[in-house]
């Protein structure tokens, strides 16, 4: 671990005495700490720029898998259910990360003068762009977090450092994919219907209503939705239901029947069938395996952080 990364780790641990997600006095900047026993997450991430400071983590977004570790950063624009698993850690060497909400307007200001409008039009859509450690970027995050010690400086200096972080990321080798985030207009058109699905996944969804929210004909809406998310709207709703059911059973210790009912299934057999098809095991077996996996990892955890993988 570099000196800058170690200093950033120390700053984060000082501000996060326990596991959890923490907002800060800097608008849009959040901190995360995970320890043994709270590794599994089924979430929708906001669009963020994130840096892993200590530990490693794997994420499953649709059919794509990502692994990332200490010192590596990522730009995330996820609107698809994401399953995350924190790797080996201990109370002395917890998983630590810092994130900044992605401001697409600011990113657009920085990129628009540099590239033609259609620069990213043919870039393959992706939800996460990852890159290796950048000592200058680590230093930028460190200076940003240290501003929390001098609140009066935040209004003036925080926007300057955040803009610096955007500038460094923009010149990353993956900048073409990052550019694609900004000009993916289909995602913008689908936002209202996607937000509705996120908030009402447990209800019966009418395709005509979803299409009207995006001001599209049903056939056009269906085609655009599948192009952006690689699944149909109903498959998207199903993933939302199953991810939430998995979270309820794993984190809130709900039984399999009530978890299925709460996310909108009227038949347990249908819930169990679709759950097994998605996760590869019945609800009971899957949760038992996940709990055993976390227990085994916690039991083998050491006070020495394991080398991280690519984000």
Q: Which domains does the chain have, with CATH numbers?
A: 3-183 (2.60.120.280), 185-297 (1.10.10.60)
Sheet holding 82-86, edge to edge: 40-43, 82-86, 56-61, 64-69
* Weakest mean pLDDT among 91-100, 122-131, 248-257, 269-278: 122-131
User: Which one-letter DSSP state was computed for residue 151?
Assistant: G
Q: Which of 9, 265, 268 shows the shortest CA–CA distance to 145?
A: 9
Average pLDDT over residues 177-200: 76
| Cα distance between residue 271 and residue 268, in whole Å | 5
Per-residue pLDDT tens for 128-154?
676 777 888 999 999 999 999 999 999
Per-residue pLDDT tens for 94-115?
999 999 998 877 877 776 655 5
As separate numbers, helices (DSSP H) first and strands (DSSP E) second, the chain gives: 12, 10
User: Which one-letter DSSP state was computed for residue 122?
Assistant: T
Radius of gyration of the chain (CA): 20
| Cα distance between residue 147 and residue 128, in whole Å | 28
Give the predicted TM-score (pTM) of the model. Answer: 0.66
């Amino acid at each position: 671990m570099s000196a800058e990364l170690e200093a950033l780790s120390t700053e984060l641990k000082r501000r996060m005495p326990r596991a959890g997600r923490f907002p800060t006095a800097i608008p849009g900047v959040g901190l995360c700490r995970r320890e043994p026993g709270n590794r599994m997450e089924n979430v929708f991430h906001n669009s963020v720029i994130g840096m892993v400071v200590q530990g490693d983590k794997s994420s499953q977004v649709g059919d794509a898998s990502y692994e990332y570790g200490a010192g590596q950063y990522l730009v995330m624009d996820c609107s698809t259910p994401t399953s995350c698993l924190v790797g080996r850690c201990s109370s002395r060497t917890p998983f630590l990360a810092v994130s900044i909400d992605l401001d697409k307007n600011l990113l657009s200001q920085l990129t628009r003068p540099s590239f033609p409008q259609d620069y990213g039009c043919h870039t393959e859509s992706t939800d996460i762009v990852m890159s290796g450690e950048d000592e200058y970027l680590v230093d930028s995050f460190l200076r940003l977090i240290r501003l929390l010690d001098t609140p009066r400086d935040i209004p003036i200096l925080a926007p300057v450092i955040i803009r610096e972080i955007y500038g460094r990321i923009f010149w990353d080798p993956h900048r073409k994919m990052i550019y694609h985030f900004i000009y993916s207009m289909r995602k913008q058109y689908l936002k209202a219907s996607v937000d509705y699905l996120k908030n009402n996944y447990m209800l019966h969804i009418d395709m005509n209503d979803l299409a009207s929210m995006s001001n599209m004909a049903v056939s056009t809406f269906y085609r655009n939705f599948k192009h952006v998310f690689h699944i149909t709207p109903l498959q998207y709703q199903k993933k939302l239901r199953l991810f939430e059911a998995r979270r309820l059973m794993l984190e809130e210790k709900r039984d399999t029947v009530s978890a299925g009912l709460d996310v909108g299934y009227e038949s347990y057999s249908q819930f169990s069938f679709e759950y097994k098809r998605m996760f590869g095991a019945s609800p009971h077996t899957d949760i038992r395996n996940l709990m055993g996996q976390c227990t085994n990892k916690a039991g083998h955890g050491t006070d020495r952080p394991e080398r991280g993988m690519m984000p």
